[in-house]
Amino acid sequence: MMKNEVKYRRKNSHSRRQDLIAAGIRCLGEGGISNFTIDKICKQANVSRGLINHHFKSKDEFLLCIYDQMTAHLVEIDNNASAQQHIVGLIERSFDQNSFEKSNLRAWLAIWGEVATHTELRQLHESRYQIYKNNLVHSVDELAKAKSINIDADTVARQLIALIDGLWLEYCLHSNSFSLDAARNDCYQFLTTQLGEIASK
C-alpha cells in the first residue's frame, strides 16, 4: 500500500478562499464573465464543484471578494512616499510589464460590466474609487503647492486618471499599436505640462 492514499488535502478556510479567489480571477481573465462559472472556477482551483458554496455564501458574494482583492492595492498608501513618488509610482505600476501581465483587461471589463447590476458591488466600487481619486488629488495638490503652481488639483487628477485608464485600455485592446514605454511617456508629458518638470524615476 502507498503511504499517502488520501483522496484530498484539507486547507483552512482562509487559505482555500484565497485559492478560489485566485482561480476566479484567472477565469475572468481568460474568458470574461461567461467563463466565470462555478464549474470552471472549481476546476481551476482543483476542488470539487460543491466546495465554493461552502466557503462563499453565493456567487455574487464571491465576485465581491474578487473585486476586493483586485482593487486592494489601488487604495493602499505608502506614508513614507512623497507626493511625487506617489504619482510616479502610480504611473509606473500601471504600465509595468510584470504587474501588467497579471492585471487582465477582461477581468476588469467583466467586473465593470457587473457594477451596474449588483448593488453591493457598485457600492464597494464607488468607495474604492473615491479613496483612489482622493489620494491622487491630495498628492497633486501637495506637489503643486510645493512648486507654487496654481492649478485645480481635482481637474488634473481626473485627467491623469482618465489618461492612464484610456492608455491602458487602448494598449490592452491593441497591444501592437504602441509600447508601454510610450504610454508611460504620455503620462509624464501630461504631468510636465501641468506641474512642470517631473523626475520620472
Interface contacts to DNA, rule CB under 7 A: 6-13, 16, 36-40, 47-55, 58-60
Scan residues 102-121 and list those touching a second copy (CB under 8 A): 105-106, 109-110, 112-117
Q: Which does 110 bind (CB under 5 to 8 A by kind): DNA, a second copy, none?
A: a second copy
Q: How far is CA 92 from the centre of its chain?
A: 14
Applying CB under 8 A, which of residues 170, 181, 196, 201 lies at the interface with a second copy?
Answer: 170
**Contacts for 115 with CB less than 8 Å, ≥ 6 apart:** 121, 122, 125
Applying CB under 8 A, which of residues 69, 85, 159, 200 lies at the interface with a second copy?
Answer: 159
Query: Among residues 28 and 52, whose Cβ is nearest to a second copy?
Result: 28
**Contacts for 116 with CB less than 8 Å, ≥ 6 apart:** 122
Query: Among residues 36 and 67, whose Cβ is nearest to DNA?
Result: 36
Q: Where are the alpha helices (DSSP H) in the chain?
A: 13-31, 38-44, 52-55, 59-75, 83-94, 97-102, 105-115, 119-146, 153-173, 180-195
Q: Could you tell me the three cell numbers for 186?
A: 504620455
Contact residues toward a second copy (CB under 8 A) are 31-34, 105-106, 109-110, 112-117, 125-126, 129, 133, 155, 158-159, 161-167, 169-170, 173-174, 177-178, 182, 186, 189-190, 193
